[in-house]
Amino acid sequence: MYRNVTALVLFSITAASASTIVSATTSTTPPLTMYAYTVMSAGPETVFEFTLFLQGPVMTDTIASPAGWSVSFSPIFVDWFAIDPSQEIAPGTSLGGFSFSSLQLPNDSALFVTIGTDSLGNVVVTSDNTIGPSASVPEPSTGPLLLCALIIGLMLKGASYTNCHSNDVPSSNQSMASKAISIKI
pTM (two decimals): 0.64
Largest CA distance in the chain: 90
DSSP single-letter state for residue 138: P
pLDDT in tens, 38-85: 999 998 999 999 999 988 888 999 999 999 999 999 988 999 999 999
Mean pLDDT over 96-101 rounds to 96
Domains of the chain: 2-133 (2.60.40.2230), 142-184 (no CATH)
Which among 83, 85, 87 is positioned nearest to 96, based on CA atoms? 87
The phi-psi region of residue 92 (left if phi > 0; otherwise alpha if psi is between -120 and 50; otherwise beta) is left
The pLDDT mean for the chain works out to: 75
